[in-house]
Amino acid sequence: MPPPEQALNQAIFDVANVKLQSFTASDTAILPANNVTLSWQVADVAAGVQILLNTISVSMSGQRSVAPLFTTTYSLTAAKLGISRQLASLTINVDHSACFQQSIPGDLISEIIISNFRTTFGGNGLNIVLNNLPNIRVTQKRDALVDIDANGIHLDASMHLAINNAPDASLGVKITFIVGVNNGKATATAKAINADVDFPWWVEWSGGLLGFALTEVVEAIIENIAEDEIRDRVKADIQSQLDAINAFVPDTCALISARTVENAIVATVCPKSEDTPCSATLPQLAISTLKVRKTGLPNASVGSARKRRK
């Protein structure tokens, strides 16, 4: 229910009556990730009026340290009952002219994922031991497919499931991984996962698998194989390559972004100080330093078959 007209009129009056005394920045032209202190002071703030620094509620006076990676505008706003008025704004200009870009070729990333996938799930595959459920041996039907574009790293895997004393099944897994920067380090995150389990028609029709509830077996397969094994192993492969970039960023520089583009991962590194340009201190990332990570053991034990999906 909207506030009554009298309350809205009072809100309009209160917001209009707020007085800006100051809104300053310690610097308005910086290098990426350098700290800037914003300071503000307002007066005549009536009850119920919020002072917002961008979208964050702040007190009538104060300071806040920010470290923008890109040119950013900060606004000071008074608001009440949906009525708002911008009091002032400041733009912090971030200079990227001295930044340095480093990339990992997509073909290399794909080769590492496919090779490690083949090592783990080729041949005799991986034996998954589930408490209270049949053991499952997982093998790949074909090599994993890997595609890299601006939306992430996309995995498409087709697996054969040999279930102990039960009919075999098929598992199709599609996962998208995104790359970003967290606390100054390049990291990989699984953004989306889609897993399909197919049994012979008569198993699905009967609703059970030799005394086990079919839904319980399917959920165990999705969580323990599609998520814990396939997702986590491929994520570790991607992260191992990102760690090669992390290791080459000196203390005098900051990693400000990491992203996927068409068939590559691109990282941007910038100097923390004008006295130490990154192009002079950042070693070239040699392809030979990116090693294929040998994954796993031939068998994996899982303490219990969990029903919860992530």
- The number of beta carbons lying within 10 Å of the beta carbon of residue 23 is 18
Please, what is the average pLDDT of the chain? Answer: 83
Q: Phi and psi at residue 187, in whole multiples of 5°?
A: -135, 155
Supply the DSSP symbol for 47: T
Fold of 100-302: Bactericidal permeability-increasing protein; domain 1 (3.15.10)
- Residue-wise pLDDT tens digits, 112-156: 999 999 999 999 899 988 777 778 899 999 999 999 999 999 999
Model confidence at 90: pLDDT above 60:
yes
Fold of 5-94: Immunoglobulin-like (2.60.40)
Predicted structure pTM score = 0.74
Q: Which residue has the tokens 């806040």?
A: 64
pLDDT value for 298: 34
pLDDT value for 72: 95
Residue by residue, DSSP assigns 259-278 as: EEETTEEEEEEEESSTTS-H
Pairing of strands 83-94, 29-30: parallel
Least confidently predicted of 165-169, 212-216, 252-256: 212-216
Instruction: List the one residue out of 217, 205, 199 whose CA is nearest residue 134.
Output: 217
pLDDT value for 223: 80
- Residue-wise pLDDT tens digits, 216-258: 777 778 888 888 889 999 999 999 999 988 988 888 888 999 9
Q: How confident is the model at residue 214 (pLDDT cuts 50, 70, 90)?
A: low
Average pLDDT over residues 162-168: 76
Supply the DSSP symbol for 166: S
The torsion region of residue 82 among left (phi > 0), alpha (psi -120 to 50) and beta comes to left
Least confidently predicted of 22-26, 52-56, 116-120, 244-248: 244-248
C-alpha 285/C-alpha 283 separation (Å) is: 6
Q: Which residue intervals of the chain bear CATH 2.60.40? A: 5-94
Residues 6+ apart with CB under 8 A from 299: 126, 127, 129
Coil vs helix vs strand at 218: helix
C-alpha 159/C-alpha 217 separation (Å) is: 16
- The number of beta carbons lying within 10 Å of the beta carbon of residue 127 is 16
- Residue-wise pLDDT tens digits, 185-200: 999 999 989 988 887 7
Q: Which residue intervals of the chain bear CATH 3.15.10? A: 100-302
- 264, 104 contact by CB (below 8 A): yes
C-alpha 282/C-alpha 220 separation (Å) is: 46
117 CA to centre of own chain? 22
pLDDT value for 211: 46
Average pLDDT over residues 273-293: 54
Residue by residue, DSSP assigns 224-256 as: IIIIIIIIHHHHHHHHHHHHHHHHT--TTEEEE
